[in-house]
Structure 1
Amino acid sequence: MLSPLVKVLNSVKWLLLKLQMPTPCTTPALLKNLTSIL
């Protein structure tokens, strides 16, 4: 049941890392927010 969520989170994390390359400080904060929601 968690597998699809993990796949989605991993893809989102990868996209954020690619899109937010110039601002790496923003990515961990967003990831923390995503993980805290679950």
Structure 2
Amino acid sequence: MYKCLKCKKIVSEFIEGRVMCPYCGYRILIKTRPEIVKRVQAR
């Protein structure tokens, strides 16, 4: 799952293998992080 920086919509598939937002055509996308917070106990 990726998010467009310009229109802020979530993009899951790319058009013809090109990294581009299908809604606005912007080419800069960021990978979304899961909302689950992982807690690790320190030793």
Q: Is the TM-score greater than 0.5? A: no
Q: TM-score, normalised by structure 1?
A: 0.16
Indicate the structure whose relative CO is greater, using CA pairs within 8 Å and at least 6 residues apart. 2
Q: TM-score, normalised by structure 2?
A: 0.16
Pick the structure with more strand per residue. Answer: 2
